[in-house]
Structure 1
Amino acid sequence: MKKETYLEKLDTQFEHPYIILKRIFDIFFSIIVLIPSVIIVFLFAIIIVIDSKGGPFYSQNRVGLMGKEFKVFKLRSMRNDAEVNGAQWAETEDPRITRVGKFIRKTRIDELPQLFSVLVGDMSLIGPRPERPNFTQQFSEEIEGFEQRLLIKPGLSGYAQVNGGYDITPAEKLKLDLYYMEHFSFKLDFNIFIKTIAVVITGDGAR
């Protein structure tokens, strides 16, 4: 029997009065932060090229709102051949990470290009972290309800990221993301935003 894809499992899109206000915040904040971010990204792009072979950026397909795929762009923090053996998650003390990569991952500087994805509407500042299509399909088959994360726009940061980091399982991530959706509000987004700043300053949870 053919297994359902995550697209076939999706219910009606998540609706909430705060969504419109949230989109306004996303546009306003991303425009303001993109201005200084362009300078930072440009400087580290040069350093990355000097430090290791390959271009300064890399892109991946991710699954967003209602299963729509989009590309995310990041500063490259791993060797150019990091996924020569296929897609895989980063590990603690991953040997594929470059010298510069360790710093930009710890400070989350590698994520700055994704502010453009927030500006154009593929992502939000706060929401469930978008997964790659193959992982989304795998987890939707293995974990009941995993695809429900797609009912809301994915985020640059999120409740699961600041409360679990990289070390939680996909099932644990789902529980935290569902909690976020159940308590969806400006207050919760603001709390996540403050915690995100703390994570960036301390480098907590980085790989």
Structure 2
Amino acid sequence: MKNKSYIFPKRIVDIVFSVLILILVLSWLLPIVAILIYLESGENLFFKQERIGKNGKPFHIYKFKSMKGKAPLNDPLLSKDESARITKFGKFIRKYRIDEFPQFFNVLKGEMSIVGPRPERQFFLDEIITHLPKYKEIQQLKPGITSLGQIRYGYADNLEQMLKRAKYDLIYLDNLSLWTDFKVILSTITVVLKGKGR
């Protein structure tokens, strides 16, 4: 990996930023979201799913639940295949990326960074690496809540789109720096304020 010197300051930024978000935002947002999710669907607050992290180590990612019911355990569906299960409130929190906020807990646990490649499920990661072998190098990094691919390309509904987005992650890998992270964070804030999520 190039520019290893920024890994320690990056971790400090991750911790400080995450603590601020938890104190200033999640402290009041979490109970509101919990009540609204329960009133609409009667389900638990969090969605949990296994993703692949740094050095190929699996971990569980957390999100506010935006869908009814449970996803198939052995059938890795793309988000478009599960769109019928999205609740009305779920569409709102996805649009403004509110569903992603619990991942700051993943950051504090050291499983994720604020900026990094998008965390994939093993099935889709294998598919990407088959078509784009260099993508295996991305596992040198912790996955991120936001990524260059996410802001430059957006969500992917099929393998072809995932491969296009993955190329932005490789650009990020070749340009690791706190300045790059800062620009990605600023761009992400713009996306959130404009409600460009889904």
TM-score (norm 1): 0.86
- Partner SS, residue 94 of structure 1: helix
% identity of equivalent residues:
39
Q: Is the 8 A contact 2:149 2:168 kept in 1?
A: yes
> Are residues 16 and 142 of structure 1, via their aligned partners in 2, closer, same or farther at CA, if it must alter by over 3 Å?
same
Give 1:108 shift.
Answer: 0.9
Q: Is the 8 A contact 1:14 1:152 kept in 2?
A: no
Deviates more, 1:19-28 or 1:82-91: 82-91
Match for 1:29 among 9, 17, 40?
17
Aligned to 1:5: none
Aligned to 1:19: 7
Give 1:119 shift.
Answer: 0.9
- Partner SS, residue 91 of structure 1: helix
Give 1:169 shift.
Answer: 1.6
Instruction: Note the 1:89-168 alignment, pairs <5 A.
Output: 89-91=78-80, 94-167=83-156
- Partner SS, residue 184 of structure 1: coil
Take 1:103 and 1:59, find their aligned partners in 2: how far apart are those partners? 19
Q: In the TM superposition, what whole-angstrom CA distance separates every residue of 1:1-39 from its partner, at most 9, and x where no partner exists?
A: xxxxxxxxxxxx666111111000001110111112132
Take 1:110 and 1:86, find their aligned partners in 2: how far apart are those partners? 22
Q: Is the 8 A contact 2:97 2:192 kept in 1?
A: yes
> Are residues 45 and 14 of structure 1, via their aligned partners in 2, closer, same or farther at CA, if it must alter by over 3 Å?
farther
Misfit runs of 4+, over 3 Å = 81-85
- Partner SS, residue 182 of structure 2: helix
Take 2:109 and 2:70, find their aligned partners in 1: how far apart are those partners? 30
- Partner SS, residue 101 of structure 2: helix
Take 1:95 and 1:164, find their aligned partners in 2: how far apart are those partners? 24
Aligned to 1:175: 167
Q: Is the 8 A contact 1:124 1:153 kept in 2?
A: yes
Give 1:141 shift.
Answer: 2.5
Q: Is the 8 A contact 2:3 2:177 kept in 1?
A: no
Give 1:143 shift.
Answer: 2.9
Q: In the TM superposition, what whole-angstrom CA distance separates every residue of 1:177-196 from its partner, at most 9, and x where no partner exists?
A: 11111111111111111100
For structure 1, list consecutive stretches of 5 or more residues without a partner in the other structure: 1-12
Take 1:25 and 1:195, find their aligned partners in 2: how far apart are those partners? 17
- Partner SS, residue 61 of structure 1: strand
Amino acid at match of 1:29: F
Match for 1:78 among 67, 81, 84?
67
Take 1:60 and 1:84, find their aligned partners in 2: how far apart are those partners? 10
TM-score (norm 2): 0.90
Take 1:43 and 1:83, find their aligned partners in 2: how far apart are those partners? 28
> Are residues 149 and 73 of structure 1, via their aligned partners in 2, closer, same or farther at CA, if it must alter by over 3 Å?
same
Take 1:15 and 1:105, find their aligned partners in 2: how far apart are those partners? 34
Count of residues in correspondence between the two structures: 194
Give 1:103 shift.
Answer: 0.5
Please tell me whether residue 61 in structure 1 is matched to residue 53 in structure 2. Answer: no
Q: Is the 8 A contact 1:63 1:132 kept in 2?
A: yes
Q: State the superposition RMSD in angstroms.
A: 2.0
Q: Is the 8 A contact 2:22 2:104 kept in 1?
A: yes
